[in-house]
Chain A
Amino acid sequence: NAGVTQTPKFQVLKTGQSMTLQCAQDMNHNSMYWYRQDPGMGLRLIYYSASEGTTDKGEVPNGYNVSRLNKREFSLRLESAAPSQTSVYFCASSVGGGTEAFFGQGTRLTVV
């Protein structure tokens, strides 16, 4: 009964370092998403995958890459972290676009 699982929960990076955020869902959902949440702002879509084998840019894709590894897993990579990428990152999944989304617990990332 895990739902959406994200790892890690916390991470501190130095400017220029790279890292991958992992996300897995066990609900057999087709669509998966990566969002970032900054203080005073709504969640903003970074990338999404409407179905296995497809990925598309969202509202704020610059500085990120994604991989839909299989139906369960969707990873987010920061190639060269910048302080502007300090944020809380959420992975989510849904049956399809525009339907109820289920969120992971979030990854709090700090870039110094």
Chain B
Amino acid sequence: KNQVEQSPQSLIILEGKNCTLQCNYTVSPFSNLRWYKQDTGRGPVSLTIMTFSENTKSNGRYTATLDADTKQSSLHITASQLSDSASYICVVSANTGGFKTIFGAGTRLFVKA
């Protein structure tokens, strides 16, 4: 069964600290993996997208990694800011003739001053 599991469910960190969010998936055949940021009351916004051959992708203070062999991805946030408080969603697409996209439930990050 195609699944995307994220951990932790929620996380509280102090402003300025780093953190890493995890994503494990069983989606196949793998096409790409995306990380989205969703602010409260808003739609998700894309942070990174990685295909099978890419193992690292950065977007400012956000760095995503992908291990296609173990089917794991992580999102590392450096020097967190209050504005990083949001949900972070891992999304994996499979190419099954058409595309099938599975969303993780997200990690809720709270950054405190």
Contact = CB atoms under 8 A, between A and B. Distances in A.
Interface in A24-61: 35, 40-45, 50
Interface stretch (A13-21, A65-73, A79-87, A99-107): A99-107
Contacts of B46: 100-102
Contacts of B104: 42
Interface stretch (B12-20, B56-64, B66-74, B93-101): B93-101
Nearest to A35: B103
Given A40-B105, A42-B89, A42-B106, A97 B99 contact: yes
Contacts of B31: 98
A91 to B, nearest CB: 8
B102 A42 contact: yes
A74 interface: no
A45 B43 contact: no
B42 interface: yes
A103 B98 CA distance: 21
A76 interface: no
Nearest to B41: A106
Contacts of A105: 41-43
A40 B10 CA distance: 11
B103 A43 contact: yes
Instruction: Specify which of B4, B43, B44, B106 lies most central, judged by the most chain A CB atoms within 10 Å of its CB.
Output: B43
Contacts of B43: 4, 90, 92, 103-106
Instruction: Specify which of A40, A92, A100 lies most central, judged by the most chain B CB atoms within 10 Å of its CB.
Output: A100
Interface string B102-113: 111110000000
A45 B95 CA distance: 16
A42 B4 contact: yes
B45 interface: yes
B98 A45 contact: no
Nearest to B6: A42
B85 interface: no
B76 interface: no
A43 B4 CA distance: 11
B52 to A, nearest CB: 12
